[in-house]
Amino acid sequence: MKLVLDPGHGGKDPGALGRYSLEKDINLSIALKLGEKIAASGIQVILTRKGDQFVDLQSRCDMANQNKADYFISIHCNGAGDPNAHGTETYCYGTSGKAYPLAQVVQKQMVEFIRSADRGVKIASFHVLRYTNMPAILLEIMFITNPREEEILNNIQWQDDFTTHMAKALCNYFGYKFAYSDKTDKHYAEDYYKAWKEKGIILNEHDLDSPLTWGEYIITQQRLKEME
């Protein structure tokens, strides 16, 4: 399966402006985190931009169409003249086809995590929704023009938690087991274990958390003394 993630705006197009941050930067940060976590489950993730460059709207559509993507998700932060405007909303081109049910699930999951106003699933003819050949949705996560929501959007830990939540929801929706883990499986003693094996202090394979017998302890100590 191929999924296109589209971090909105970029380069000379900053998107909506917060008090101290730009929409384009938040969009990219969230898309990169989300893409990494989804890709770990075996879904091929294609990003329309991986850095702060300008990509016009049709080029974004062309990239998705040429790669024959199965779904397209455009990631944005909302903006308004009223700093009190707040909440979460999701857009799709129409109610028929596969985009609308995906939009409903994504909207529900975003609201569940963010716990802000549910502005609902809305119909719009945005370029990236209209000229992509696959089901496409556009997320307006929160308002960067709302001081409280801007603070949340810029919080790196929040971004990490949000993208984990959404990656799990999307993998589940697409029928994939969520496989991403940010924890290392490396044992704290693994490097010392390898060094001892290379020196011949340890000859056989051992579980690093298994108990050590007195016999093994004595033999190990004797080998260490012989190497002095």
Residues with active-site annotation: 140
Q: Report the alpha-carbon distance of residue 112 to residue 144 in Å, rounded.
A: 19
Q: Which long-range contacts (CB under 8 A, 24 or more apart) does 11-16 make?
A: 11/52, 11/53, 11/54, 11/55, 12/54, 13/54, 15/76, 15/77, 15/79, 15/144, 16/77, 16/78, 16/79, 16/143, 16/144, 16/145
Q: Report residue 122: phi and psi, to 5°.
A: -125, 155
What burial letters (b/e) apply to 173-204, b meaning 16+ CB within 10 Å?
A: ebebebeeeeeeeeeeeeeeeeebeeeebbee
Residue count of the chain, please give it: 228
- SS3 assignment, position 26: helix
Cβ neighbours around 141 below 10 Å, total: 27
